[in-house]
Amino acid sequence: MKSLAALFAVVVSCLGPTAAATLHEADAAYDQGNYAAAAEQYQVAAEQGDINAQRKLGALFSSGRGVRQDYAQSAKWYRLAADQGDPSAQASLGYAYETGQGVAQNYAEAIKWYHASAEQGYYMGQSNLGHMYEQGRGVAQDYKEAARLYRLAAEQGNAWSQAQLAGLYNAGKGVAQDHAQAFTLYKLAAEQGNAFAQNSMGYLLETGQGGAQDHAEAAKWYRLAADQGNAYAQGNLGAMYQHGRGVKQDYKEAARWYRLAADQKEARAQHNLGQLYFYGQGVAQDHKQAVQWYRLAAEQGSRDGQTSLGYMYDLGQGVAQDYKEAVKWYRLAAEQGSATAQRNLGILYSNGNGAPKNAVAAYALWNVSATTDASSANPAPQNRNAIAKTLSQEEIEQGQALTTELMAAGNFLKALDNHVLKADPNYMRPVILP
């Protein structure tokens, strides 16, 4: 009996070092970029129950390095390590449940694992759990709790959490609004190479929020993020070149950066590239190309894209003139608060182009436009005053009442259509895009 116990002890003592040695070999192979060899060695150690090997094997299956990408296998190995209490594996398993990678999407399970990781002080568990609270995924939305968790991770130097906490300070969500504090946190993250934070730094410097306005510095941060492929930064850098802010005005460079962002489906860049084609700035003037880019932006819900596309149909530039199409796009943009679309829609209702002729509707639309944009560049007040001379007092009162209805939140198109329907029972409401 004693000899059997001694033999068992020898076997057990050999297993530990063997797993450790295998893990060491796997780590060395990984560091050399030999991911296939690393995966084989991690598998051996993981099957012996090594918690680090299980976690690392899960990461390889998730990324597809050295093995065929397999999220189900990744989740399997993460779970084995997570069940042993590994905080990194717990956070990774939580992410699998949040995104539905390798497991059925389940926010409650994601929160459970994020919470287990966060309780051990692991920054990724804290930051991901904070994000769930910020977005209200699987829990009641709670910006204060999100800020608390982001702060814990940010204090460990996590750039993503620093950037997320900065966003809360910038918006005043869960914390008192503080642009200076947002600036400080964004800078900490940006200096670590976080592209989102770099773009945000650019924006704060461009607008002067949180510090002195500095267009040259803004362009510098935009470029750092843009070089990492951040679409928003590419669009912002394009705007700096278009308008000569912080850099020498260069329409070709503007077009180049806008195109990079537009190809990533960034709606504002798509619209702005369309503008360059419309005016022939940095590219050969091409109204058909302008329409193409305006449409891509408009179909994503871009107010400016919808306004510009409506304008092209209104005037028949780059596309066959079609007042009904112009009305359709102007309506969508006007509902989103475009003073230009509101004004141009008023013109179409005034003339009965693409919509029933309705002077009261035109009066109200110009009234709304004048309120939306009170600058002297907006001719809506002159249009309103001119048509008012043709209206009766009763019609003016109707126009003023309609103005109030149009400006009520979420009521623009409903109020406009109800008014026109009263005047013309045969009026067919335009189909509103989803």
pLDDT tens, residue by residue, 339-394: 999 999 999 999 999 999 999 999 999 999 999 999 999 999 999 999 999 999 99
**Tens of pLDDT, residues 231-289:** 999 999 999 999 999 999 999 999 999 999 999 999 999 999 999 999 999 999 999 99
* Amino acid at site 355: A
Please report, in angstroms and rounded to a whole number, the separation of the first and last CA atoms in the chain.
Answer: 78
Mean pLDDT for 381-408 is 96
CA dihedral 306, 312, 313, 314 (to 10 degrees): 100
DSSP structural state of residue 174: S
Per-residue confidence band for 424, with pLDDT thresholds at 50, 70 and 90: confident
Rg of the chain over Cα atoms, rounded to whole angstroms, equals 30
131: nearest Cα among 100, 155, 153: 153
How many residues does this entry show for the chain?
434
Tell whether the model's pLDDT for residue 223 goes beyond 50: yes
For residue 212, count other CB atoms closer than 10 A to its CB.
Answer: 7
**Tens of pLDDT, residues 59-79:** 999 999 999 999 999 999 999
**Tens of pLDDT, residues 129-186:** 999 999 999 999 999 999 999 999 999 999 999 999 999 999 999 999 999 999 999 9
Percent of the chain with pLDDT over 90: 89
Tell whether the model's pLDDT for residue 15 goes beyond 70: no
- Which pLDDT value is given to residue 428? 62
- Which pLDDT value is given to residue 98? 98
197: nearest Cα among 187, 205, 207, 206: 187
- Which pLDDT value is given to residue 433? 46
What is the model's pTM? 0.87
Query: Do 179 and 170 form a contact (C-beta atoms < 8 A)?
Result: yes
372: nearest Cα among 341, 417, 405, 415: 341
Query: Do 60 and 38 form a contact (C-beta atoms < 8 A)?
Result: yes
Per-residue confidence band for 427, with pLDDT thresholds at 50, 70 and 90: low
Residue that has been written with the tokens 């590219």 in this structure? 283
Mean of all residue pLDDT scores within the chain: 93
* DSSP H stretches of helix in 172-229: 179-190, 195-207, 215-226
* Amino acid at site 394: E
- Which pLDDT value is given to residue 230? 98
What is the C-alpha to C-alpha distance for residues 53 and 42, in angstroms, rounded to an integer?
5
At 139 the three-state DSSP class reads coil
Output the CA–CA distances (angstroms, integers) from residue 263 to 278, 295, 305, in the order listed: 18, 14, 16
Helix crossing, 195-207 with 179-190: angle to 10°?
140
Higher pLDDT pick, 190 / 420: 190
Tell whether the model's pLDDT for residue 47 goes beyond 80: yes
- Which pLDDT value is given to residue 87? 98
Query: Do 75 and 98 form a contact (C-beta atoms < 8 A)?
Result: no
Mean pLDDT for 180-193 is 97
What is the C-alpha to C-alpha distance for residues 300 and 41, in angstroms, rounded to an integer?
48
Tell whether the model's pLDDT for residue 20 goes beyond 90: no
- Residue 81, CB half-sphere, CA atoms under 13 Å: how many? 30
Helix crossing, 287-299 with 267-279: angle to 10°?
160
Tell whether the model's pLDDT for residue 432 goes beyond 60: no
- If you write DSSP's letter for every residue of 38-65 in order, what string do you get? HHHHHHHHHHTT-HHHHHHHHHHHHHTS
What is the C-alpha to C-alpha distance for residues 137 and 326, in angstroms, rounded to an integer?
39
- Which pLDDT value is given to residue 14? 43
- Which pLDDT value is given to residue 10? 38
What is the C-alpha to C-alpha distance for residues 53 and 214, in angstroms, rounded to an integer?
49
- Which pLDDT value is given to residue 12? 38
Q: How far is CA 400 from the centre of its chain?
A: 38
Instruction: Taking the CA atoms of 67, 73, 74 and 77 in sequence, report the sign of the dihedral they define.
Output: negative
What is the C-alpha to C-alpha distance for residues 63 and 40, in angstroms, rounded to an integer?
15
Query: Do 63 and 57 form a contact (C-beta atoms < 8 A)?
Result: no
Query: Do 257 and 273 form a contact (C-beta atoms < 8 A)?
Result: no
* DSSP H stretches of helix in 100-158: 107-119, 123-135, 143-154
